[in-house]
Structure 1
């Protein structure tokens, strides 16, 4: 499955258009991560626990989006985007979306 944030893939043409596909996950903060983040706010530095949480969330959202695209018969998702939102105190949604298409080699 080709996944890209651009509208066209060099050397390929869009043979079929299946429309919007998406995947999301809602994750809550972990008490241990929250404690360590509080300490980092005092001394500064990267909040690695949150970085890992966001990386896991992105991966899960993309996998769910790919599953939806495969079910439609797509072999690519173009023009993908990510969005985040706060759902509840300490919980956030990461939403991935794009356009499911079937790409074929161009004849040029």
Structure 2
């Protein structure tokens, strides 16, 4: 089951939350959601994720993130961020990636 829900932010702007909820044998097998500024972006993400989930078939563990380290999260943030990252923030993120804690699962 999936849906795109419109909601108001604190600032008064509209956000669109794409939610994917999958039940298997009466239990939640997979749940995820993401928030977008545009309905079209939410719909595109939803379509992409549903294709990935259908390709995985019954093995839903294959679609869950395997690389859950702080360094991976920083890399993903810097590559997928829709907003421009300033020089100072970029340097701080690079510095954090070099600490030992960044490579821990």
Question: TM-score, normalised on structure 2?
Answer: 0.26
- Higher radius of gyration, 1 or 2: 1
Bigger share in helix: 2
Bigger share in strand: 1
Using CA pairs below 8 Å that are at least 6 residues apart, which structure has the higher relative contact order?
1
Question: TM-score, normalised on structure 1?
Answer: 0.25
